[in-house]
Structure 1
Amino acid sequence: MERIDTNDLVEVEKVERYINLVQSFRKIKTIINKEGESITVENGAQRFTKAHPLIGERNKINASLLSIEKSFSFNQDDNDGKNKSKPSLKDLIGK
C-alpha cells in the first residue's frame, strides 16, 4: 500500500483484488497438492484419469494476477522505483 496512491480508490481496489486472488490461488494450490495433479473418474464400467479440474482455475487466477501486477501505478521512491528490501508475505496479504 505504501507504493501506491492510497487516495486513488481504483488502485486500492486493485490491491484488494490482488490479495483475494493470491489467497484463492494458495487455497487451490493446497487442494491440488493434497489430491494430486490428476484424478480418476469412474463412469459406470469406464474408468479414466484426467487432469485435476482446479488446474485450469489456477491458471486463470495466475493470468489475472499477472494482469493486475502490470496495471499497478507504483509511486517512485528514492531508489528509482526499486525497493531497498525484498517484498515479504505480509506485503501480499496485509498485516
Structure 2
Amino acid sequence: MGVVEDEVVSIKDFQVVVDGKNIPLLEAGLHVNMDKDVDDPDLCEYVVRVDWIKTLPKHEAIWEKGMFANQNSACKLRNQFTIERLTHHFQIDEE
C-alpha cells in the first residue's frame, strides 16, 4: 500500500538514489526487463515514484471476489469494499 509521489515518466528519465547519487533507474543494476524501446514514447515503459506505506511478502497477498482490479501500475482507489478489505489486511487506519 503506497502513495504516488510524482508524475509518471518514461523509464529512461526515471532517477533513483544509489549511494547518495541520483542515477538513471536503468543504470541501477536491477534485473528488470524494462529497457526495450526506451527511445519510443509509444512503446517504452513508464514508471511512477511511490512512497510505500506498508508492504507484505507475496505469500500474504489478498484477493476476494468483488475487489477492484486494474492493470495500471498506479490508480486512485475509490472502491469502498476493496479499501475496507485492504486497510484491515494491511492493518492500516483508513484516512
Normalising by the smaller structure, the TM-score range is: under 0.3
Q: Find the structure with the greater CA-based Rg.
A: 1
Scaled by the length of structure 1, the TM-score of the pair is: 0.24
Higher strand share: 2
* Structure with higher RCO (Cα < 8 A, 6+ apart): 1
